[in-house]
Structure 1
Amino acid sequence: MTARRTQAERSDATMGKLVDAARNLFGRNGYAATSIDAIAAAAGLTKGAAYHHFTDKAALFRAAFIAEQQWMANELEQVAVAAPDSWTALLNGTRTFLELSLETRFRRIVVLDAPSVLGWETVRAIESDHTLRVLTAGLALATAEGRLTDGDLHIRRHLIFGALCEGGMLLARTPDPATALPQVVAEARRLLEALKQE
């Protein structure tokens, strides 16, 4: 006999349905064209259930953004584990980030909508717990063999991550992103190689 789910488990399941539906709809239609009503319907829930768990559409978008960041960080960590050394992990992670920036849902939520919906400070704070955390770990291992101070590492991770995000935006707005991807990856690699030479 299966044990009955607790209220917390039911609440988590409801929130999970809402976030999954939000990711799909925000990712396909964008923030402005997606309503709480549509998200609730896609999740098989009422609008009241959505407002019970999220104060407004922006709060639900924030949860969808966090889920996208968790997804990207997980992908990058898998790439790092599979690499033969820390430098290759950093290079492969850079390419993976740019490739995955072409994924429709991630591109729409993270690259295009999040800065205007959440604001730069909120976006960067969330990224610091996810994709920026992975980049920081990769940089610490792959560059300067531990010679970077915490201040150097903090500045470099933001500059490199900013370049990668800008590369993602460039790809998102290019008519043929698949063709532009190799050039953007090559330029990102040149930036990283310059760090290695210091």
Structure 2
Amino acid sequence: MKKNKIETEQTIQNLMKIARWHFTEYGYANVSLEEIVTEAGLTRGALYHHFRNKKGLFLAVFEAVQKEVGGYVEAAAAKSNNSWDQLINGCQAFLEGAVESHNQRILLIDGPAVLGWDTFREMDEKYSMHSLKEQLQLMREQHVIKSVSVEAMTHCLSGAMNEAVLWIADHLDQKNVIEEAMLVLRHLLEGLRR
């Protein structure tokens, strides 16, 4: 029984790895499920058993990318014990992680278009905004930031960063553009600081 679960998980992970590469390289609209299953050495039936359809496979890949970026953000934030520095580090890590070439198309282009705005926002709240909200709540309790609505701060800051990521993605010199965006974010955040 354990062997079947392990093999099933390996099959799922292999399909997602192959699909992620295809979605990154060609975009959702140009990806053929036939190519994915052929590369995985499976049948369409096996893919449909695990993911129901192309959109289901894309959702699983999108969610994996969201988790990956979320982990990158949390690891960057954890490099400091100071809650202010954690916030700054996390913001910068989000900008860097979201514009990585292997994440851009899935997160920024196809994600909202394929999944629809409601699902996209639900995933964003689950994997990005939740951690941001927790950090801002902690900072408010520590009296590091002003006593304003954490919910409003979370949405405003998340929206600003999501828009900044789209802007950064349009530039070839992303390192310098990330620095420019972080300078502006730091100035915006200073307005919240006590």
Aligned pairs for 1:86-165 within 5 A? 86-143=83-140, 145=142, 148=147, 152-165=149-162
Deviation at 1:62, TM superposition (A): 0.4
Alignment partners' CA distance in 2, 1:54 and 1:188: 39
Per-residue deviation, residues 143-181 of structure 1 (Å, max 9, x unmatched): 4636757xx222221111111111111111224323322
User: Do 1:143 and 1:195's aligned partners in 2 also have CA atoms closer than 8 Å?
Assistant: no
1:144–1:196 CA contact under 8 A, matched in 2: no
Q: CA RMSD in A?
A: 1.9
Q: Match for 1:27 among 24, 29, 36?
A: 24
TM-score after normalising by structure 1: 0.88
8 Å CA contact 1:80–1:92 kept in 2: the answer is yes
- Any unmatched runs of 5+ in structure 2? none
Cα deviations by residue, 1:113-162 (Å, 9 ceiling, x for unpaired): 1011111211111122212222112212234636757xx22222111111
Equivalent residue runs for 1:1-20 within 5 Å: 5-20=2-17
Residues paired across the two proteins, number: 192
Q: Retained in 2: the 8 A contact 1:81–1:89?
A: yes
Aligned to 1:179: 176
35-44 or 126-135, which moves further after superposition? 35-44
State the secondary structure of the residue aligned to 2:52: coil
Deviation at 1:42, TM superposition (A): 3.2
Most deviating of 41-50 and 116-125: 41-50
Letter in 1 for 2:104: R
Cα distance in 2 between the residues matched to 1:192 and 1:89? 13
Q: TM-score, normalised by structure 2?
A: 0.89
Distance 1:11 1:195, change over 3 A: same
Aligned to 2:60: 63
Which residues of structure 1 form unaligned runs of 5+?
none
> Quick one: higher RCO (CA 8 Å, sep 6+), 1 or 2?
1
Aligned residue type for 1:89? Q
